[in-house]
Structure formats: structure tokens, C-alpha cells
Amino acid sequence: MHPDLRIAIAQFSLWVANGSVGHPILENVDYSEVLQEPSAMERLYFIFTNCLELDEEGAPTNARHAEERAAQWLRQYCERDHVIDPPLSDEEYNGHMY
């Protein structure tokens, strides 16, 4: 695994855990419940990793975009009336699941 990919995943995990993922998308949104919901946490990571693009050496080229897409889904999970724009594609949402 490329060191930059490890860093991107570690940063994403830190931001999820400390409440700052996707800032400002989730500003003032309490998503602490998702930390207790294994399937929601799994989906959050699926979206993040499905959206990540890697260069020929395996380094991420769009970690911020992948974080934003995951944060948009998380906001919709917490606030059912939130509209993701553009909507998540099937590849982003389901692309690499099992």
C-alpha cells in the first residue's frame, strides 16, 4: 500500500472520530450515532474508498473529494431531508462491496 494511501485513510478515520469529517458539510451535524451503527460506518468507508482514485503508483489523487462524497452521504444519513448533489452513483455507493 502506498504511504499516501495509508495517510489518507488514517486522516479520514481521525476526522470521522473527532467530528470534523467533511468540514463544512457536516458543520453543526451530530453524527455520533453513526459511530455506534456498524453498518452505517461500513457504508461510510465503502463510499470513501469507492470514490478514491489512485495514480499508477497507488497514491490517492482525490482524497478530499472522496471525503466530501462520504460526508454528503453521512449528512443524508443523519438528516433524511438532505439532498446529495449530485446524487451518489451506483459505483460510489456499491462499487466495491463484497
Could you read off the pLDDT of 51-78 as tens digits, one per residue?
A: 999 999 999 999 999 999 999 999 999 9
**Average pLDDT over every residue of 47-51:** 96
The yes-or-no verdict on residue 96 having pLDDT over 70 is no
Q: Which three cell numbers stand for residue 7?
A: 495517510
User: What domain range is 8 assigned to?
Assistant: 3-94
Distance of CA 20 to the CA centre of its chain: 12
pLDDT, position 36 = 92
Residues 6+ apart with CB under 8 A from 75: 22, 25, 26, 29, 31, 82, 84
The yes-or-no verdict on residue 88 having pLDDT over 90 is yes
pLDDT, position 94 = 87
**Average pLDDT over every residue of 4-27:** 96
Work out the burial of residue 63: count CB atoms within 10 Å of its CB; fewer than 13 is exposed, 13-18 middle, 19 or more buried: buried
Q: How many domains does the chain have?
A: 1
